[in-house]
Chains A and B, each alone.
Chain A
Amino acid sequence: MTSERDSPLLTVENLRTHIHTDQRTVRAVDGVSFKIDRGETVCLVGQSGSGKSVTCESLTGLLPQPPAEFVSGSVTFEGQELLNQDDSTLRAVRGKHIAHLFQNPQQALDPVYSVGDQLVETIRIHEDVSKRAARERAIELLRQVGIPNAQRRIDDYPHEFSGGMAQRVALALALTTDPDLLIADEPTTAVDVTVQARLIELLRELTKDGMAVLLVTHDLRVVASLADRILVMYGGTILERGPIEDVFAQPSHPYTQALFRSYDQIDSRQERVSREDIPTSGCRFQGECQHAVEACTEERPPFYPVDQKQTASDNGQQEVSCIFYNEKRNPRSIRAAASEASPSMRGETDD
């Protein structure tokens, strides 16, 4: 038996989240599995509509049901099952152990209370401390996330903070209970690059102290600057996973290559499969994939190690869900495209 410390902090297995609308059912997350260790930063990347945000919001039951439905799978956090638990159980976990940070900080802040009131309230819900002590803690937290003049600014209202500063306040609020896992959905998308640089450094500090981060971003530069591991999503499924250095040096799934290639180019427009037309069986990317063959439509490919000397095992190595990597086929032409699509190989001439 493995001890609590050795097992991953969060284990997601075969998660399926469907969203029911009047017309149809969207299989937003369609069989997703991954793990996050303590102190680790895992990045979810993929185009909009690929299921990144729904995955994040499924973990702690943040999505309203209906329209969402957690169809199957399991989400285990420190040995505790989270999926389809009652509200009070989830609220306790959400507040204390898993915190969320969103793109728009104003969403997380209540406009009619000062940030100090909100921080103090959150601290006192989870801990039996005096108002005074909670206020001291709140000032300390604001200082920790880099709010200048925290002592004075604690009594300001959310609208009195600029976008970057409001995001720091939202982060302070998320950190009040010293969470084990921070789920951050595009946290730096709405801020300036100079502010983003500070937020990146701040998140690095926090993971050094043992906090794990699940980060959703479409910015590959932010991914490169923070991630330990990366999960590439398309059509509600994970198509490639592995250590950041490996996936960036040798993107091996045709979709990862397409995604990376489009990153810093002005693409000539190509036919895209619209969200409604993404197949629900076989490889989800088959419709856009230039390598697609008949077998791609049959069943969803399992994960194959990119380095064929290894065996598939989900122990953190680079793996792809693509039939070209099985023993019988040869992914040569796909492999050949890897270095050209690699973001880290691209000549950076700005220094």
Chain B
Amino acid sequence: MTDTEHASAKAETDPLLAVEELKTHYPITKGWLRREVGRVRAVDGVSFTVDRGEIVGLVGESGSGKSTTAESILGLEEITDGTVSFDGKTVTELSGRQLREFRRRVQLIVQDPEEAFSPRMTIGEAVAEPLKLHGMVDTERRQRIVEDLLERIGLSASDTQRYPHEFSGGEKQRIAIARALVLNPDLIVADEPTSALDSRVEADVLSLLKDIRQEFDISVLFISHDIDVVRRFCDSVVVMYLGKVVERGPVETVLESPSHPYTKVLLDSVPSLDPSDRTLARPLTDTIPDPAEPPSGCRFHTRCPALIPPEEITIESDLWRRVAALRFTLQTGELPATLADMEQRDATRIRDAFDLPEQLPDETVEQAVSEAITTLQDDGTAAASEQLAVALPTVCERETPTERTTGNAQVHCHRYDPDKPGEPL
């Protein structure tokens, strides 16, 4: 074995893409001096890998930082901290020929195919453009490559002369895939590539991507809010919440038996295909916190149905969940409609609104709740919430969970830390 062969054999086992502790913050500026007054921590310490030939799904609600993560990987956003390595090389250190090489090997497919094409360019020109930009001057050769690719994605060679508006959304997305493939990339970053398509066309586009991955051994980073699509299409999945990874691992593990409470909420929010099963998940509150001021500790703690109670109290988990819902609802400053009227804000009504009994079984909890209710009657939502926070402290708010391995998934939740209170779910 020669040295080069040896080197490439070693490289085969390394991940193609490695993201380590990636942080991308946007400054919030004020005044004409653009003084920085705060930061939106869009991506705040994200690590994961994409292996050769692997399809990795990146899921989360809007504002979770999925798209910023993708843009940071591609170098479209300036990274605040952390590293992105592609094929063993740090992307931010690339320049000149190496940077051009990186840009050839990593391609982006965007959500809306309408935005991806110039209306004045035939699709033949559009698909050939990357080749031209990367220095292929032979027009005939370009033409041959483009025609071959169009046939491969299910269009015909004669379509090169047509304009984007002559194609349907699904066809346009296939052409976008052809254009991404024309430079023979190793990694395709696809940001919600099928969200704008209806289900039959979506199935087409996904099947095309899957064929391509097999045929060309391409890796895909697939960003989607559609869990069904990720389940069908991806090998592994990274779940993000407010700029952090909460759980990652193989699709079968993470999406079939999720460990993190947020993954559970996400999965249980998807309605069942069985019309007789109409239950949906309920997080503590529906308010997604401001990414400029993310909650301390575990970022999901303000909505987490599995929030860990203080160690010294014993309380049934369902009852604790309702107490926690009271606290975090008050924290958002919002009250249920039945409590909108100050005059009618008596203790019974408040307890009813949160489904709390007259008397809670645990003394500490009962005292904390009744004091908070008294404060609330004088319209102190923030003060009442603060009282509950002090009386019933939780480890989830105090400490940031570290990454733990459970089964074959990685999860960021104190419940999976043997040194912390709380049982695994």
Which residues of A come within 8 Å of B, CB atoms? 47-48, 140, 143-144, 146, 148-149, 162-163, 192-198, 200-201, 204, 218-222, 224-225, 227, 244-245, 248, 258-259, 262-269, 272, 274, 343-344, 346, 348-351
**Chain B residues within an 8 Å CB radius of A200:** 271, 280
Bin chain B's interface residue count. 35 or more
Say whether A244 contacts B154, CB under 8 Å. no
A194 engages B200 (CB within 8 Å): no
Tell me, rounded to whole Å, the shortest Cβ–Cβ distance linking B351 to chain A.
Answer: 20
Q: Is the CB of A196 within 8 A of B269?
A: yes
Contact A194 B269 (CB under 8 A): yes
Contacts of B62 in A (CB 8 A): 162-163, 192
Check A47/B283 contact, CB under 8 A, given A344-B273, A348-B274.
no
Partner among B199, B208, B275, B283 whose Cβ is within 8 Å of the Cβ of A263: B199
In Å, the complex CA distance between A262 and B334 comes to 42
Return chain B residues, CB-CB under 8 Å to A219: 199
Query: How many contacts A-B (CB < 8 Å)?
Result: 125
Whether B283 pairs with A224 at a CB distance below 8 angstroms is no
The answer to whether the Cβ of B207 comes within 8 Å of any Cβ in the partner chain is yes
Q: How far is the CA of A346 from the CA of B231 in the complex (A)?
A: 14
Interface contact B273-A47, CB-CB below 8 Å:
no
In the docked arrangement, what's the CA distance between A341 and B160, Å?
37
- For the complex with contacts A245-B276, A348-B274, 5 further pairs of A-B residues with Cβ separation under 8 Å are A144-B337, A194-B61, A218-B199, A269-B208, A351-B268
B204 at interface by CB-CB < 8 Å: yes
The complex places the Cα of A343 from the Cα of B270 at a distance, in Å, of 14
Contacts of A148 in B (CB 8 A): 286-287, 332-334
Question: Which residues of the other chain, A, contact B199 by a CB distance below 8 angstroms?
Answer: 47, 218-220, 259, 262-263
Set of chain B residues within 8 Å of A162, measured between Cβ atoms: 62-63
Q: What chain B residues lie within 8 Å of A264 (beta carbons)?
A: 228, 232, 273
Determine whether the beta carbon of A266 is less than 8 Å from that of B203: yes
For B280, list chain A residues within 8 Å (CB). Answer: 197, 200-201, 225
Closest 5 CB pairs of A and B: A225-B271, A267-B203, A148-B334, A343-B273, A221-B271
Contact A259 B275 (CB under 8 A): no
Within the assembled complex, what's the spacing in Å between the Cα atoms of A263 and B226? 12
B residues whose Cβ falls under 8 Å from a Cβ of A: 61-63, 154, 168-169, 198-201, 203-204, 206-208, 210, 225, 227-228, 232-233, 255-256, 265-276, 278, 280-283, 286-287, 332-334, 337, 340
B340 touches A221 (CB 8 A): no
List 18 interface pairs A-B (beta carbons < 8 Å), by A numbering: A163-B62, A193-B61, A193-B227, A194-B269, A200-B280, A224-B273, A245-B276, A258-B200, A259-B200, A262-B200, A265-B203, A266-B210, A267-B203, A269-B204, A269-B208, A343-B274, A349-B256, A351-B268
A149 touches B334 (CB 8 A): yes
**CB–CB B267/A346 < 8 A:** no
Chain B neighbourhood of A143, CB < 8 A: 337, 340
Nearest-CB residue, chain A, relative to B268: A351
B185 to chain A, nearest CB (A): 21
Q: Which residues of B contact A346 (CB under 8 A)?
A: 273
Distance between Cα atoms of A67 and B212 in the complex (Å): 42
Residues of chain B within 8 A (CB-CB) of A351 are: 268
Inside 8 A of A244's CB, which chain B residues have their CB? 275
Q: How far is the CA of A194 from the CA of B269 in the complex (A)?
A: 5
Q: Using known A-B contacts A47-B199, A245-B276, A269-B207, determine if residue A221 contacts B270 with beta carbons closer than 8 Å.
A: yes
Q: Which residue of A lies closest to B202 (CB)?
A: A262
The answer to whether A348 and B273 have CB atoms under 8 Å apart is yes
Measured between C-beta atoms, what is the minimum distance from B336 to chain A in Å?
A: 9
Do B281 and A197 have beta carbons less than 8 Å apart? yes
Bound state CA distance, A226 and B233, in angstroms? 27
Measured CB to CB, the nearest residue on chain A to B256 is A349
Tell me how far the C-beta of B232 lies from the nearest C-beta in chain A, rounded to whole angstroms: 6
A218 / chain B contacts, CB cutoff of 8 Å = 198-199
Q: In the assembly, what is the distance between CA of A350 and CA of B255, in Å?
A: 7
Contacts of B337 in A (CB 8 A): 140, 143-144
Once the chains are docked, how many angstroms separate the CA of A248 from the CA of B277?
13
User: Closest CB-CB distance, A225 to chain B, in whole Å?
Assistant: 4
Q: Give A52 to B263 CA distance when docked, in angstroms.
A: 34
Q: Which of the residues A48, A140, A267, A349 comes within 8 Å of B204, measured between beta carbons?
A: A267
Which residues of A have CB within 8 Å of B225?
A: 192-193
Report whether B278 and A225 are in contact in the complex, using a CB–CB cutoff of 8 Å: yes
